[in-house]
Structure 1
């Protein structure tokens, strides 16, 4: 089985070697350089990753550029800051590969002090509670490590290009009838300072984006679906138009 792993990156030269060297066999890294000012792209090339340039700043912009560049049937997303161990990717992809789930999120479990700042964890608890009510899925974390089928993800028509991208993915998937599951993954102290959870300001910016996405996909507005329940099946060897 071949899996493409999308790694959105903004100045991750310190973390990339650790991340890429731990990539499991059969998991192909796609590093999306989101206008880095360090040696992120150079290091990724040297370590054998495909490198995609996305000059438009935004977490969602980087994730979606990687999704468009991917070619494997199964794709994963994960942060490239060494807070997540790529060796857990098979556990996240297995339920999708085996047909037991359509979207799997890695629920973070901190394994060291300081891995998950209090302000970020509190915001995540509130968001997860709202997601459980909205989607009916038993979610406890909007996990940054996740897996799904590539063509099915493209068919969701995700439009957010900021921090709301992972939330929009879950909302649209749920509205389309996908089976959504969680798998626990270790959460480690990241290399360097986070652009989001490392500061209260960054966390609040992410929460603002997610509130906007929640409002845009409110059931009262009829948003969030793509034409009624249609769980994804295995994709054909075709690439949707970009």
Structure 2
């Protein structure tokens, strides 16, 4: 696992993000990665009902950013979109990026550094550690995240502070060899459970900022997904 890192695959699941997806792509374009690492952007449009597909195609025509677009013919869920994108990744490393503006691509280098320094194989970006900016929003969401992380840690024997974070970076060969099943927001506890059982995998966590959205601004996760996460924690740790 000590080969030179030359390319980062950025996997973006997208659903009804036509109005703003150009903004996250602009941010990715502006990022200068450490060691001149190249970018590969893989967008999976999960059968959006708006003009997400057309907005991405317009962007691709006017940008030098290397983008590959895949379109699901039916809506399958965020996890299913991630499965498609991860399978198609060709970079040495893979990072998950939501299509909204809650996470800042300028922090890719923060996640990359433990890998480039030779310490990590997987890096989680925590919204609950460090001194970076965090938008103040939903109290019960923050409590729910901490409960889910604690429950996950109890079974995986990890000491993560933010299991539910979007920003997860993996060596490609590690994430591609996992048999991932969850098609919606259960991706987070499932991938954490399965990563924790991989032999000799070094998992690190770094602090990141967080610019959360309200539901009016397009936030999609809800309390039902929280109960599904609990089910997934139990399923992928107890009944593996």
User: What is the distance in 2 between the residues matched to 1:16 and 1:146?
Assistant: 20
Under a length normalisation based on structure 2, what TM-score does the superposition of the two structures give?
0.82
For 1:50, the equivalent position in structure 2 comes to 68
User: What is the distance in 2 between the residues matched to 1:189 and 1:171?
Assistant: 25
Per the alignment, in what secondary structure is the counterpart of residue 9 of structure 2? strand
For 1:238, the equivalent position in structure 2 comes to none
Deviation at 1:113, TM superposition (A): 4.2
Report if the CA contact (8 A) 1:74-1:97 is conserved. no
1:20 correspondence with 2:25: yes
1:123 correspondence with 2:149: no
For 1:6, the equivalent position in structure 2 comes to 11
For 2:45, the equivalent position in structure 1 comes to 33
1:137 correspondence with 2:158: yes
Deviations 1:9-64 (A, max 9, x none): 11112221221111124222211101111121222223233211123421110111
For 1:234, the equivalent position in structure 2 comes to none
Per the alignment, in what secondary structure is the counterpart of residue 41 of structure 2? strand
1:194 correspondence with 2:233: no
User: What is the distance in 1 between the residues matched to 2:53 and 2:109?
Assistant: 25
Report if the CA contact (8 A) 2:114-2:120 is conserved. yes
Under a length normalisation based on structure 1, what TM-score does the superposition of the two structures give?
0.81
Report if the CA contact (8 A) 1:96-1:148 is conserved. no
Q: Aligned pair count?
A: 214
Report if the CA contact (8 A) 2:156-2:237 is conserved. no
- The runs of 5 or more residues in structure 2 that have no matched partner are 1-5, 33-37, 61-66
- The runs of 5 or more residues in structure 1 that have no matched partner are 197-201, 224-242
Deviations 1:179-213 (A, max 9, x none): 222111110133822011xxxxx1x2211221221
Q: Once structures 1 and 2 are overlaid, which stretch shifts more, 75-84 or 210-219?
A: 210-219
User: What is the distance in 1 between the residues matched to 2:134 and 2:198?
Assistant: 37
User: What is the distance in 2 between the residues matched to 1:94 and 1:47?
Assistant: 30
After superposition, the CA RMSD in angstroms is 1.9
